[in-house]
């Protein structure tokens, strides 16, 4: 058994020690915080990659993504081909008053149309203004940080290695053809 009141004395000692230290409070509006690289602030939309597949809206647990689209007929690419139809995005909106920032919409997007931006200063006085339409979401794309650099010691991706191999073969064939042509020109000039 300890001395009665020793816990209280230890607690007060910790309090007195911390009272004499300088605080590390950052004055927020004047000093911007240092955010970690993968901060979840707001979601940006890269509209060119959106195919209106609706996966993000379907998987959203809060149902805060609103997408409207229409079908458009595309003429055939070649004569004799058939017409195709494609979805055209009319409206893409996210209600940040409902969003819980889980990131499921970004993870399920198969075409990399949604990205996290570290921006967090988008407070509004009216809750209805927290529904950001596609033009506002497009503006957030400019604040999305570049992806981290690949590890220089990492193995080269198979796709890049295959493309490099094909490009090297093509360059070697071009060099051989150019050498053969220059050799035949020299033989013709010597005769």
pLDDT averages per 10-residue partition of the chain, 191 residues: 84 89 81 82 93 95 96 89 91 95 94 92 91 94 84 80 87 90 65 52
pLDDT for the residue 190: 54
pLDDT for the residue 139: 93
Report the alpha-carbon distance of residue 91 to residue 69 in Å, rounded.
7
Report the alpha-carbon distance of residue 160 to residue 65 in Å, rounded.
35
Identify the bridge partners of residue 72 per DSSP, sorted by sequence position: 86
Report the alpha-carbon distance of residue 4 to residue 91 in Å, rounded.
68
Residues 6+ apart with CB under 8 A from 102: 61
pLDDT for the residue 64: 96
pLDDT for the residue 181: 84
Report the alpha-carbon distance of residue 42 to residue 140 in Å, rounded.
7
pLDDT for the residue 191: 52
Whether 116 contacts 71, CB under 8 Å: no
Q: pTM for the full model?
A: 0.65
Report the alpha-carbon distance of residue 104 to residue 37 in Å, rounded.
19
């Amino acid at each position: 058994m300890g001395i009665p009141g020793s816990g209280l004395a230890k607690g007060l000692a910790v309090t007195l020690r911390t009272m004499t230290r300088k605080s590390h409070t950052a004055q927020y509006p004047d000093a911007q915080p240092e955010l970690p690289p993968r901060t979840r602030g707001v979601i940006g939309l890269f509209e060119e990659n959106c195919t209106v597949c609706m996966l993000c809206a379907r998987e959203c647990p809060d149902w805060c993504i609103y997408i409207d689209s229409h079908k458009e007929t595309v003429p055939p690419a070649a004569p004799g081909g058939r017409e195709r139809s494609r979805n055209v995005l009319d409206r893409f909106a996210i209600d940040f008053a409902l969003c819980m920032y889980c990131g499921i919409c970004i993870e399920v997007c198969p075409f990399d149309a949604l990205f996290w931006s570290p921006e967090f200063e988008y407070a509004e006085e009216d809750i209805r203004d927290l529904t950001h339409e596609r033009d506002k979401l497009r503006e957030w794309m400019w604040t999305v940080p570049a992806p981290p650099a690949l590890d220089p010691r990492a193995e080269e991706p198979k796709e890049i290695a295959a493309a490099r191999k094909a490009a090297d073969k093509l360059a070697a064939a071009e060099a051989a053809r150019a050498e053969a042509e220059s050799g035949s020109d020299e033989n013709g000039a010597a005769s």
